[in-house]
Structure 1
Amino acid sequence: MSDITRFTSNRSSLSFSFEYTIRYYLQRLHLRAQLAFISLQAMPRYPLRFNQVPPLFCEPYILRGFRSIHQPWSYYFKSLFHKHNETMNVWSHLIGILYMIHLFFYYNTRLNFFENAHSWPFAVSLCTAIIMFICSAFAHLFHSKSENVHMTCFLIDYIGVSLHGFGSGFLHIYYSAPQWFYEKIEYQYVFVLLILGVLACFLNCFAQYYYHRPYPPIKRICQFFPCGVLWLYSIAPLCIRLYTSNIFSNPALICHLAQIILFLVGATFFGFDVPQRFCPGLLDFVGQGHHLFHVCVYLVSVCQMHGVYWDYEEFQSIIDQRSKPELIFCAGSMFSLIAWDFVIVCFFRRRIHKTYHLD
């Protein structure tokens, strides 16, 4: 009887302690968030409004926080630590770079990239994700220097978009596709993926060159359509897998479903200029659609890498029985896409320079 009393007493004290601890940590979290918000509001900010910069640098429903043009390169680098309407875009992808590099070394200890040929598609996809984040962070940090730099930066950004779509599909077909689908379409799938990657880069660069501000809706269609086709093709192995499986019984499948939903949510924010469409000027520094899209892309990459790794763990015996992928095929396909994208960017950069007489 005394043991039961003691147990009841201990359980009630443990419950109280647990509730107190949770309440304490929630209070601390709230305080830190409040301090971070206050610090963000107090950060030095760039005060230029949309009517004080050339139209090329303006975005719909964004009214404040623009940086001056034709400043030294150091001005734009230092803006990394100040508040402007691109700060979130830059930092979300700088964090992505660091996390993908961390994952590269983390998964190397488990997959042994340098000796395990079956891990090479994983290494290639991590490299394409890192390049995508680098291109995006670079573009959003430095594009305000001049009209010429602005156009060039976002042409480079499209290289990252093209590579990320290719790397995602390469990852999905090798590790997450059902075996019958992999055997039926492996090399053809990668070849089509390569073509779609080149097409996405080309059409995005063409839209950047051909259309002028204020951009007509056809510009976004020209950019989003090839990217959407590339994305749909890259997730085709995941869709087949999700359709034929019990999703909530497997953490890898939950990650795959999450990355699809997150990408659709982010693309909706970006494509329809929400939520800033409903409150122009209120979300200039934090919370505009482009910011939310960047955060979603980062979370998509995180879900993708962890989900695919869990697939590899589950199907390792099947994957190891396949013919080993050749390094020239894995790395060569990535470098060939980079080469084609680089040629496209150089071509359109020259056309832009001649057409707009940019310095």
Structure 2
Amino acid sequence: MEGEQAGNPGCPSPEEAWREAGAVPHQPGPPVIKMLSLKLPRLFSIEQVPQVFHEQGILFGYRHPQSSATACILSLFQMNNETLNIWTHLLPFWFFMWRFVTMLWMTDIQNDSYSWPVLVYMCTSCVYPLASSCAHTFSSMSKNARHICYFLDYGAVNLFSLGSAIAYSAYTFPDGLVRTTFHEYYVALAVLNTILSTGLSCYSRFLEIQKPRLCKLLRILAFAFPYTWDSLPILYRLFLFPGESAQNEAVLYHQKHMLMTLLASFFYSAHLPERLAPGRFDYIGHSHQLFHVCAILATHMQMEAILLDKNLRKEWLLASSRPLSFPQIAGALLLCVIFCLSNIIYFSAALYRNPEPELHTKET
């Protein structure tokens, strides 16, 4: 996910900026020289890239706004203002994938239905960091590619939200809420929240230039509401009546998860510290990098809490709760994927019906 944009419309194209800077046009040369030129792509300042690529408080280190896929991949190994955004999710993806594959290998999938929800959760915990790292990697290919990359990123984040709800429903509900009406409809409403959140977050990108504040507000609400819904049983457990089976070592990890989530939300919405010192945190230490780190730590804490609840409460849950069936889990995931992809396709097509949204005057 990206930071809020800032800047002035009507900026020169990268090609014009190159000529103004006296850059030497590319000339054919020996293969070694060509390889070196690929490894060191030119970076630009905020005035040299279209407004749609601007990030608040980030003044330098922008990649070419029409980069090739190869150049985008090579940019992973050059310090620019997206490098750490990519690696702070790409490396955790491999860690979460290792944990998921390990659990998958150790589980009798056909007969151990009790473990199905945690496998779904761990799978979705791999999807969102991969989608995020890919979005940040390829978002500089074009302005439409940038939007579509983040549409997919938003869909992956919301799929993870549904995975969290499925795991919470299976393992973390406090004793007093198990088998209540709230519990019965909890996952179904999480599916609805996921679909609506994907649509709202995708729609918000069309407001970035004209109404950036409204855009940011809608995007924050789009992610905050599903998270709040998912967290209701945890909040009840932490602050009201957890029940005997829910008073275990997992509580500490649930608390840490919520703390890290609050920190991630703060960095995402506040744009600190780069807003206080524009240009000083372009490459290292800006808010989106800190947001990524906090989000990954929050996921790690959440995963530990869910695994502890799954193991420590197994006997009580099997005796007292009604486990999710395979059709319920598969149906929830299938509905989410179908409708979220439909949202993404619809808004992607809208980009080509409205090809130049960044030319509008920015709201003051």
TM-score range, shorter chain: 0.7 to 0.9
- When residues 252 and 109 of structure 1 are mapped into structure 2, their CA distance, relative to the original with a 3 A threshold, is farther
* 4+ runs deviating over 4 angstroms: 43-46
What do you get for the CA RMSD once the two structures are aligned? 2.0
* Deviation of 1:120 (Å): 0.8
State the structure with more CA Rg: 1
Q: Which residue of 2 aligns with 1:204?
A: 201
> What does the per-residue CA deviation read over 1:53-80, in whole Å, with 9 as the maximum and x for residues that have no partner?
1110011000111101223210001111
Q: Which residue of 2 aligns with 1:340?
A: 339
CA distance in 2, matches of 1:205, 1:284: 26
Identify which of 106, 112, 123 aligns with 1:127: 123
> What does the per-residue CA deviation read over 1:120-156, in whole Å, with 9 as the maximum and x for residues that have no partner?
1111111212121121111100001111101111111
Q: Which residue of 2 aligns with 1:320?
A: 318
Equivalent residues of 2:251, 2:305 under 8 A apart: yes
Q: Which residue of 2 aligns with 1:9?
A: none
* Deviation of 1:213 (Å): 2.1
* Deviation of 1:294 (Å): 0.7
* Deviation of 1:221 (Å): 1.1
Q: Which amino acid aligns with 2:274?
A: Q
More helix by share: 1
CA distance in 1, matches of 2:186, 2:97: 27
Equivalent residues of 1:45, 1:65 under 8 A apart: no
CA distance in 2, matches of 1:240, 1:88: 36
Equivalent residues of 1:175, 1:308 under 8 A apart: yes
Q: Which residue of 2 aligns with 1:21?
A: none
Equivalent residues of 1:118, 1:319 under 8 A apart: no
**2:95 maps to 1:99:** yes
Equivalent residues of 2:41, 2:71 under 8 A apart: no
- When residues 72 and 205 of structure 1 are mapped into structure 2, their CA distance, relative to the original with a 3 A threshold, is same
Identical residues among aligned pairs (%): 24
* Deviation of 1:340 (Å): 0.4
Q: Which amino acid aligns with 2:329?
A: C
- When residues 275 and 113 of structure 1 are mapped into structure 2, their CA distance, relative to the original with a 3 A threshold, is farther
* Deviation of 1:332 (Å): 2.4
Q: Which residue of 2 aligns with 1:264?
A: 262
CA distance in 1, matches of 2:351, 2:203: 10
Q: Normalized against structure 2, the TM-score is what?
A: 0.81
Equivalent residues of 1:45, 1:83 under 8 A apart: no
CA distance in 1, matches of 2:99, 2:110: 15
Equivalent residues of 2:154, 2:198 under 8 A apart: yes
Equivalent residues of 1:44, 1:83 under 8 A apart: no
CA distance in 1, matches of 2:104, 2:147: 37
Identify which of 189, 194, 210 aligns with 1:192: 189
CA distance in 1, matches of 2:105, 2:350: 46
**2:335 maps to 1:351:** no
Equivalent residue runs for 1:48-63 within 5 Å: 48-63=44-59
Q: Which amino acid aligns with 1:282?
A: R
CA distance in 2, matches of 1:201, 1:307: 26
Task: Give structure 1 stretches of 5+ with no counterpart.
Answer: 1-42
Question: What's the secondary structure of 2:178's corresponding residue?
Answer: helix
